[in-house]
Amino acid sequence: MIDRLSGARRALLSLLLAALGLAGGGCTGKAAAPNLLLITIDTLRADHLGCYGYFRDTSPTIDSLAGESVFFERCIVPMATTLPSHTSLLTGTYPIEHGVLANVKRGGYRFTPSPILRSYAEIARDAGYRTAAVVSGAPLNDETGIEAGFDRFEQPEKTETIAEVTNKKVFRLLDDLEEESFFLWVHYYDPHFPYKPPKAYRNTFQTDDGLDRYMTERRFARNIALPTGEKTPIASWINEYDGEIRYLDDQIAVLIDTLRGRGMLKNTVIVLTADHGEGVGQHGRTGHSFTWEEQLLSPLMILVPGEKPRKVTETISLVDALPTLFALTPGLPRGDFASQASGRNAVGADFTPEPVLSQDCAIQRHDPEPANYTLTTKKWKLRYEPEGTDKLFDLENDPYELDDAAGRFPDTLAAMKHTLLTILAKQEKTGERYRAAAGDTLQQFDPAMREKLKGLGYLN
């Protein structure tokens, strides 16, 4: 555990906030500034939740939250890798821009804040909020830079902690947060491989005709070869993965009930999302860091007390989450976040959907599959492989990306490729500016891809 705010500084800040009428207790008669609870779930496939159409009862608590929230049906993450995706969420920028292109111990660099690129935790703290985080997996420990701006930062002693332990840490922190407005980030790791749900959830889901239909529609692999040479049925992995989700869902219920019991829920905005999904055998992939839809599609819901629940059907990026949150919750501090964010307000009257860029994490996945970038719209998805063969999927008619349509729609392929390269070049220029401000401590964009863009004229 790390405590970055000294007792003296905290006391002085509390006195100042009370004098200005900004303290969470609201003693001046003014409405207290809203609290923010950010829940991120590692490795959670959106399509394994009931609110996203899953056939199993894995997520009654999350489903209920979705029904009370502004609910986003198609939120695409910029990279299906833990640290880059969380950094994008907290800065409102893409991996090429913020320079975190892999997890630190898998070939990536740590996030380095600068005067022109900061985590939202730093902005909230500067505005007088108490900031605290409890993370449950080693890819987000305090060696990664993701801890920037948090007064209190709890992390696993080893590789990970299960949700019950995470909740206990959160409840201890709540004792220090009750009298002041706070930004609390809770990160759960349970759905991440290896799938080992607690004993009470181990047999919650069994292989049946419903699972067989689900796997057949998506052309799942049926078995996976282990390093020992043995083969294990993918269906059993899906059962265990779903058991992890149901266990976690019950623990989120405990968290929300505890906040309600302490009277903290009525003035708390809740954002629930995931950093990425998981292959679990679809497209022959068991993990993540690739760019298939099941790995890029993330749940996203924002519950604002008093805000009318509704569904947003447009395709958006995870980098749009905080700019959208600020539009829904004017009382939250936002400082200079808008000046750095590439993300946009997805609920504004003038919002026009734009193609969403994602990229794989070739740095750490150690796989023969070519590095690639994707561009996603409501109908089309381009998979651009600089050293391979480009692919095009018609998502309206082929939502599981089973049939490459590039040969049938060459004009669409060419137009989307031009758009993708234009966006890449723009992000690279933004990344150059952030790298200069951080003293070149951020990771460089792929040099070969940069030369390719330059040779094609996109960086001129």
For range 134-153, the mean pLDDT: 94
Report the pLDDT value the prediction gives residue 438, as an integer from 0 to 100: 84
Find the helix or strand (DSSP H, E) in which 298 lies: strand 297-303
Task: Report residue 18's pLDDT band, with 50, 70 and 90 as the boundaries.
Answer: very low
383 vs 110: CA distance, rounded Å: 28
Report the pLDDT value the prediction gives residue 367, as an integer from 0 to 100: 67
pTM: 0.91
**Cα-to-chain-centroid distance, residue 319:** 9
The set of residues, in sequence order, having a beta carbon less than 8 Å from that of 111 and lying 6+ positions away, is: 83, 87, 91, 98, 99, 100, 119, 144, 145, 146, 148, 442
For range 335-340, the mean pLDDT: 96
* Ramachandran angles phi, psi of 268, nearest 5°: -120, 125
Q: What is the pLDDT of residues 213-227, one digit of tens each?
A: 999 999 998 998 766
Q: What is the pLDDT of residues 220-268, one digit of tens each?
A: 989 987 667 778 899 999 999 999 999 999 999 999 999 999 999 999 9
**Is the model's pLDDT at 11 over the cut of 90?**
no
In sequence order, the β-bridge partners of residue 130 are 182
The pairing of beta strand 380-384 with beta strand 373-376: antiparallel
Task: Report residue 26's pLDDT band, with 50, 70 and 90 as the boundaries.
Answer: very low
Residues 134, 166: contact at Cβ < 8 Å?
Answer: yes
More confidently predicted of 362 and 421: 421
**Is the model's pLDDT at 397 over the cut of 60?**
yes
More confidently predicted of 379 and 365: 379
Phi/psi region, residue 128 (left: phi>0; alpha: psi -120 to 50; beta: rest), is left
